[in-house]
Structure 1
């Protein structure tokens, strides 16, 4: 399956549909206070760049964002692929675009927070295959059983999946 990934505004109906699907997927996996979501309006801020993956027909099938916290630190946010395209490397393609942009911006480190448990196993595999290493909490994320944290030093090459 061929997909294209491009920087787009999150303020589109098809992106809102993917964000709603992501939120629905996360809802049963952890208590709400441990779900650190960004709205599409927040993703439209100057500190965040959203990538949208589209299939051959132009349908939005995945999203992922880079939020820049400082000249040294970027964060991967709102990674999601539609269940119909899972296993077809859409997530890897999105993550590669986020990492490339972070490198282009000269960021020293890329981090992320994600959930734990069986519903997040595929995400953990994606991140570790892409060179991310497990780490402890960062920024103001609390240390809890509901969160897993990963980092990618951008001075190191990204391993191929």
Structure 2
């Protein structure tokens, strides 16, 4: 049975999953990994969701405040063995619901052009491609998305 817990970036299972995510991204991003990695620190992330399947951590995601009414989705990951089973959708929905409870109105995120599964996933979850924002503004390998909550 899938269980989702709300926590923060100090959660040891979240930290373990992020190590797996970073290892995966290092492979897919290649030389660009160090550039992206500078924007993925774990310090003081107060809104984290960790997914457990039969008590084992299998996925995670987080959000950070971006602007007064907008959050930025960060560090979405599911273990390779359970991809395609709806875990990521559940995590994202939980993050979006949590943000709505805190009166946020929009969600934005960035992913890389090499992250084909992520691009398809966010489109399926009704995210719309937008102009790159913030630190990704001039990064042609980035694709940014937005969704009204």
TM-score, normalization: structure 2?
A: 0.89
Partner of 2:23: 24
- Aligned Cα root-mean-square deviation (Å): 1.6
Q: Distance in 2 between matches of 1:27 and 1:140?
A: 19
Q: Structure 1: give runs of 5+ residues left out of the alignment.
A: 155-161
Task: Give secondary structure in 2 for the equivalent of 1:69.
Answer: strand
* CA distance in structure 2 between the aligned counterparts of 1:103 and 1:13, rounded to whole angstroms: 26
More helix by share: 2
> What do residues 72-93 of structure 1 show as CA deviations (whole Å, max 9, x unaligned)?
1100000000111111111000
Instruction: State yes or no: 1:70 paired with 2:72.
Output: no
Residues 1:142 and 2:137 aligned together: yes
Equivalenced residues, count: 146
Residue deviations 1:30-82 (CA, integer Å, cap 9, x gap): 31213454333x1x34xx300000012x1110000011123211000000001
Task: Confirm or deny that 1:112 pairs with 2:109.
Answer: yes
Going by fraction, where is strand more abundant, 1 or 2? 2
